[in-house]
Amino acid sequence: MTKESQTSPKPASTFPYGDYAPEKLQEAADRALDHYLKPDDSESDPKPSVQLFTVADGIDTEVLLANLSETLASANAMLNDLAFDQDGSRRHVALGVAQMIELGMLLANKCLDRVELRT
């Protein structure tokens, strides 16, 4: 009596993409989803800023305050020159703005004095 070998027939593939390896397709799909849904945190290119001018990070507070004070002093000088070329209400407005700049200068200088005392 001969024994029939019981080899089970190969099941028909239920994979819809033919002969492509399902593992490779799954890896490709995962990479594509990760690319769009989980962006890499270590992006080397920062997004460009929409600001025309920026202040660099890491600049000392004393340097920032000194530059603020000088900028306000320059604005005050320009506005005073302009104010003395005006008459009437325009002159009063210009002098009022100059006074507000002067108050800003006083605040900046007081902050600068306090920073210098700490160091």
User: CA-CA distance, 71 to 65, in Å (whole number)?
Assistant: 10
Task: Identify whether 36 is part of a domain.
Answer: no
Give the pLDDT band (50/70/90) at residue 56: confident
pTM metric for this prediction: 0.55
Inside any domain, residue 42: no
Tens digit of each residue's pLDDT (9 = 90 or more) over 96-112: 999 999 999 999 999 98
Would 23 be classed as within a structural domain? no
Q: 111 is in which domain, residue-wise?
A: 61-118
* 103 part of a folded domain: yes
Q: State the SS3 of the chain.
A: CCCCCCCCCCCCCCCCCCCCCHHHHHHHHHHHHHHHHCCCCCCCCCCCCCCCCCCCCCCCHHHHHHHHHHHHHHHHHHHHHHHCCCCHHHHHHHHHHHHHHHHHHHHHHHHHHHHHHHC
pLDDT of 1 strictly over 60:
no
Residue 31, domain member (yes or no):
no
User: What domain count does the chain have?
Assistant: 1
CA-to-CA distance for 3 and 9, rounded, in angstroms?
17
Residue 67 inside a domain? The answer is: yes
